[in-house]
Chain A
Amino acid sequence: MGDKLKRYAINTIKTLILPVLVIALFAVLTGGRSLSKRMLLVTARQSVMPIIISMALVGNLTLGMWDFSAGGVVLSAAIIGGNLMKLTNTGTAGLVVICLVIGVVMTTLTGFLNNRLRVPTIVVTVGLVLIYETIPRLIYPGGVTITAKYTFLASSPYCFIILAVMFVFFYLLYNKTAYGHNLRALGGSREIARSAGLKASRIIQTGFSISGIFLGIGAVLHISTNGQLLTVSALGSVPLIFEPMMGVFLAFFLSRFCNLTIALVVGTFTMTALTNGLVALGLPATMRSITSGLFLLILLCISGNQARIIKWREDRKRARMLDAKHNT
């Protein structure tokens, strides 16, 4: 086996070991129930929306910026989009277009304010999420309900087709455009990237606007999955981004073995599999939250401290060499 093929095989195993372990663990704990074809399909289908939202979040997180308004954008776009679709009688196509437009407009505004206000992104987006949650409450206080004929996009195979399209779009964007490379350069070292002539504010603004496309599609899937959505307040939309955000963190860890696009799919799927496994075990919501949190903490703790562990090993080696030299 050639070196390249061997490395590829090892990296594939490392990438897939995590979801396989999670699925295997719950298969054992639930007596094989969670391993059924139906359950696996449900998990895959349920992970589509978080994966697409994670694609929206990853750009900003690469730059160390936390966008807490993403959930508000998804919910607003879904409620307003659903209502406008009914009003204009434009059907599923109208729903997709309206949600995309609302998503892009809102995230463009977020990016604009983030660049102009010069306060931390977390502050800007927490402020904006309250506003974004309020907008549909003002226009459509009752939320939205759409009929079953418009919800097919959340079902199989359509949801997987959407995922495939967004996967290709994200892959090309992140790997084949100057924007993707500039984004990573800026995330790697803002100072060096700036001195090389990159315009940070323009890249940040572009990143926010593009994230609106993913959030718009996320909104379509959200309303299509639920059929009915109620308005929320006081950061009630933030839980929508928890699973995708945890997926992004896992993806950052996995991206040392595979492309980030694949890592996002695998990472977010793993988090969905974990949540579903805990549901299958019959654990209450609080216990599920604690377990998911612990899982992520342990994993990130190990990955985050790898550099320290390597340095510690190198220091030990150097110490042994110096001690030997000293003793002779």
Chain B
Amino acid sequence: MLTVKKISKAFGPTRALIDVDMEIRRGEIRGLIGENGSGKSTLASIIAGAQFADSGSFELKGKPYAPRNMVGAQNHGVSMIIQEMGTIPGITVAANIFTGRLEEFTRFGFINMKAINRRAAELLQEIGAGDIHPETLINRLNFEERKIVEIARAMVANPDLLIVDETTTALAQRGRELLYRLIRRLHEENKSVLFISHDLHELMSICDTITVLRDGIVIDTLEKEEISVDRMRSLMVGRELSGSYFRSDYDGSYSDEVVLEAKRVTSGILEEFNLELHKGEILGVGGLSDCGMHELGRVLFGIDKPITGSVTLKKNNVQVKDPHVATKNNMAYVSKERDREAIILNASIKENVVLPSHRQLRKVLGLITRRSETNLTNKQIETLRIKCRNGKQICNELSGGNKQKVVFAKWLGKESDILILDCPTRGIDVGVKAAMYKLMTELKAQGKSIVMISEELPELIGMSDRILLLKNGRLQAELRRSPDISEKQIIQYII
């Protein structure tokens, strides 16, 4: 059905896909697995026309295939249910299903809503969701129903190849069964499915073959008889820790003094979560993307207010109710969404670095001198070796790694004692990563406390004194620093 030839894709310095080759046969249900950031969704979105490859080519049903957008791909018979796409608010179920295709129902300039609603009802009936009314405003549906509408949207073009990107994690039992039935139907009709999931048991029960991606490279393709959970896990992980890359010590020691405490914290998926952070500790928090760890970071820094429980700075017994209280008490937060939440892209390095430190820089009459700002900025540029012309350079002109260094510089300049780092090495190259790890080790030695939220298991194992593993918003396991911790062991807890 589909031949993938030497597909490569890079995002700045990060190589998401490297010469990926793959063949999906007619009637085959192909699983695609890999750790977070292994390139699964990138590959899927390129096949579905949502992104372009840097190099390589496709053949679909024996003919060259190069979709310009998702509708183009659909017209060629390739549809995708996307993990993070969602539905369009403010319009009906039927309008959502046929967005981009309404002209097909237009006569003399007027749209035939009756025909659209009828076709949407048929489509929903076909996929087993006949109870969803096509004229209902999409906002009135719950999350799972909206996801089912997305499935219907993907089925509009009657695809020959359906790509399902981690959709089942968003579905409850009913939605999952609906999707499985649909996949089986496509299989019976000799059509193909590319199925991406973290649920290894689910993959085993559904897929005929499974391709394993790691760091953008195809590691192996397992035929039905070769598939086992253990085999998939070891192929997914299969990576050695480099001694010099992470911390070399394994003592995992830190002070008994608790500096930050979260008690019965509930927010989003996170439910009644407890945490204690000690002075001089690097506390790793891991799990799948949607396990609640990112919500935890936001709650700890006071960005999101917890529904129950509280976050307390133990030294002064201050409750962290908002980011102002947090920064005033020397806390720092590095968001996972760097370009949106952690750095002002259109401002200079200096403007970013001095932003949280204005209080410390105040001189007589509360005035801040240009010299004190420049000195602070230059010191941070030197310490973190930020590659730039000078402090006046606009951050947008920097590479991803150097932008991340500016984010760190902002908080280091303020001499923060508690750092909440959400995916601190996301999307940066190996060299900068190593520098970040070194910096974190130094901060620990200085008695600073760090909560390191990460989707990268080697990073959690290599850097943390303790690791908290979350699943569905709850603590699944707590592991202490040891050379014996393996990624395989962690995966068992989080998947």
Contacts and interface: CB of A to CB of B under 8 A. Distances in A.
Interface stretch (A30-38, A289-297, A317-325): A317-325
A306 B113 CA distance: 30
B111 A176 contact: yes
Interface string B44-76: 000000100000000000000000011110000
A326 interface: yes
Given A188-B88, A197-B71, A322 B109 contact: no
Contacts of A178: 102-103, 105-106, 111
Contact of A185 (B99, B272, B307): B99
Contacts of B365: none
Contact of B88 (A177, A189, A315, A323): A189
Contacts of B426: none
Given A197-B69, A197-B70, A198-B100, A184 B90 contact: yes
Interface in A175-224: 176-178, 180-182, 184-185, 187-189, 192-193, 195-198
Interface in A302-327: 315, 318-319, 322-323, 326
A319 B308 contact: yes
B99 A193 contact: yes
A29 interface: no
B109 A196 contact: no
B87 interface: yes
B320 interface: no
B95 to A, nearest CB: 6
Given A181-B95, A188-B89, A326-B264, A193 B272 contact: no
Contacts of B271: 322
Interface of B is mostly: mixed
A117 B448 CA distance: 49
A199 to B, nearest CB: 10
B109 A188 contact: no
Nearest to A322: B308
A135 to B, nearest CB: 33
Given A185-B99, A319-B307, A322-B271, A195 B50 contact: yes
B85 A315 contact: no
Contacts of A193: 88, 99-100
Contacts of B102: 178, 181-182
Interface string B92-118: 000100011111011001110100000
Nearest to A172: B110
B272 A189 contact: no
Given A176-B113, A181-B111, A192-B88, A315 B99 contact: no
Interface string A221-234: 00000000000000
B71 A315 contact: no
A254 to B, nearest CB: 14
A114 to B, nearest CB: 21
User: Of residues B50, B99, B102, B271, which shows the largest number of chain A Cβ atoms within 10 Å of its Cβ?
Assistant: B99
Interface residues of A, number: 24
A172 B95 CA distance: 16
A322 B266 contact: yes
B238 interface: no
Contacts of B113: 176
B111 A185 contact: no
Contacts of B264: 322, 326
Contacts of B86: 189, 192
Contacts of B153: 196
Interface in A138-195: 172, 176-178, 180-182, 184-185, 187-189, 192-193, 195
B69 A185 contact: no
Interface in B125-160: 153
A247 to B, nearest CB: 19
Contacts of A326: 264, 272
Nearest to B87: A192
A181 B100 CA distance: 10
A315 B272 CA distance: 13
A319 B266 contact: yes
Interface string A88-126: 000000000000000000000000000000000000000
Contacts of B95: 181, 184-185
Q: Name, among B91, B100, B109, B113, the residue most crowded by chain A CB atoms within 10 Å (CB to CB).
A: B100
A196 B308 CA distance: 40
A181 B105 CA distance: 12
A177 B266 contact: no
Contacts of B90: 184, 187-188
B69 A177 contact: no
A278 B487 CA distance: 72
The listed residue with most B CB atoms (<10 A of its CB), out of A185, A196, A318, A322, is A196
A197 B69 CA distance: 7
A180 B102 CA distance: 11
Contacts of B106: 177-178
B485 to A, nearest CB: 32
Nearest to A176: B110
Contacts of A196: 70-71, 99-101, 153
A185 B88 contact: yes
A197 B100 contact: yes
B207 to A, nearest CB: 26
Greatest chain B CB density within 10 A among A187, A197, A319 is at A197
Contact of B266 (A176, A181, A318): A318
B309 to A, nearest CB: 9
Contact of A192 (B72, B85, B110): B85
Interface centre among A176, A195, A326 (most CB of B within 10 A): A195
A10 B70 CA distance: 42
Nearest to B90: A188
Nearest to B95: A181
A67 B386 CA distance: 43
B69 A195 contact: yes
Contacts of B85: 192, 195
A177 B109 contact: yes
Contacts of B72: 197
Interface in B188-210: none
A63 B86 CA distance: 19
Interface string A270-289: 00000000000000000000
Contacts of B70: 195-197
A94 B102 CA distance: 37
Nearest to B105: A178
A198 B113 CA distance: 18
A8 to B, nearest CB: 15
Interface in A239-277: none
Contacts of A319: 266, 307-308
Contacts of B266: 318-319, 322
A176 B108 CA distance: 11
Contacts of A172: 110
21 contacts: A178-B103, A178-B111, A182-B99, A184-B95, A185-B91, A185-B95, A185-B99, A189-B88, A189-B89, A195-B69, A195-B70, A196-B100, A196-B101, A196-B153, A197-B69, A197-B100, A197-B101, A198-B100, A319-B266, A319-B307, A326-B264
Given A188-B91, A196-B71, A196-B153, 4 more contacts: A177-B110, A188-B89, A196-B99, A318-B307
Interface of A: 172, 176-178, 180-182, 184-185, 187-189, 192-193, 195-198, 315, 318-319, 322-323, 326
Interface of B: 50, 69-72, 85-91, 95, 99-103, 105-106, 109-111, 113, 153, 264, 266, 271-272, 307-308
